[in-house]
Amino acid sequence: MPQNYSLGHGVAEDMRMSAGIAMHFKSIYKRVGNLMDQKQKVDSVTYLQENNQFIYYLLTKELSKHKPTYNSITAAITKLSDLIVEHGVKKLAIHRIGCGLDKLGWSRVKCIIENLFQNTECTIKVCHFTHNMLKESELLRVEHPGTIKIHKNINDIQKREFHKLNIILYSQITN
């Protein structure tokens, strides 16, 4: 995503970030100590700031080996919505929070996002990142018939050194 987008993803309070997209955020943005120093708990959000871009870490579970609940996702997204307003963020890119390795239902999480961001002035893009374009692009088109756009040449989120497929599953422009 362009640098004028702030980014968000779900993590555990233990901040291990050893799998999925969280692992890539950890390798790119580092500063895990700064995140832990904020001493946030599950159902909240911790963040880093890179110039005018915020990197939001939604704390949706206590330990990496646990699974989030819809209640913890809702609480973290509520806090994210508050921070978006507080920080004046106008563009946000997130992945399907809780729906990848954690296996929550995207349609339900999407409704949570729509409801909690409906009164903000933030454009939200929900993306899916993968290494295997052939396998996952067809699967996602079936699971998400409203897929907006597929970009085949996204080089990085910021300074990511490997290519990923960026599929925009959902885009909401509010107000």
Task: From 99, 167, 165, 168, select the one nearest 132 (Cα to Cα).
Answer: 165
CATH class of 6-173: alpha beta
Q: What's the rounded mean pLDDT across residues 55-72?
A: 94
Give 64: exposed, middle or buried? Use CB within 10 Å, 0-12, 13-18, 19+. Answer: middle
Q: Which residues contact 136 (CB under 8 A, 6 or more apart)?
A: 128, 130, 165, 167
Res 112 pLDDT > 60: yes
2 close to 158: Cβ distance less than 8 angstroms = no
Q: Is the pLDDT of residue 145 over 60?
A: no
Strand order from edge to edge, sheet including 164-173: 44-50, 53-61, 6-12, 91-95, 123-130, 164-173, 149-154
Residue with tokens 């963020």: 89
Domain spans of the chain? 6-173
User: Contact, 21 vs 100, CB < 8 A?
Assistant: yes
User: How does residue 62 score in pLDDT terms, banded at 50, 70 and 90?
Assistant: very high
Catalytic pick from 79, 102, 110, 164? 102
Q: Note if 102 is an active site residue.
A: yes
- Report residue 15 CA to chain centroid gap: 15
Among residues 26, 61, 79, 91, the one annotated as catalytic is 61
**Mean pLDDT rounded to a whole number for the chain:** 77
- 143 Ramachandran zone, left/alpha/beta (phi>0; psi -120 to 50): alpha
Reduced to 3 states (helix: H, G, I; strand: E, B; else coil), residue 147 is coil
61 catalytic? Reply is: yes
How far is it, in rounded angstroms, from Cα 147 to Cα 66? 29
The pTM of the whole model exceeds 0.85 = no
* Residue-wise pLDDT tens digits, 1-56: 677 889 999 999 998 877 777 777 777 778 888 888 999 999 999 999 988 899 99
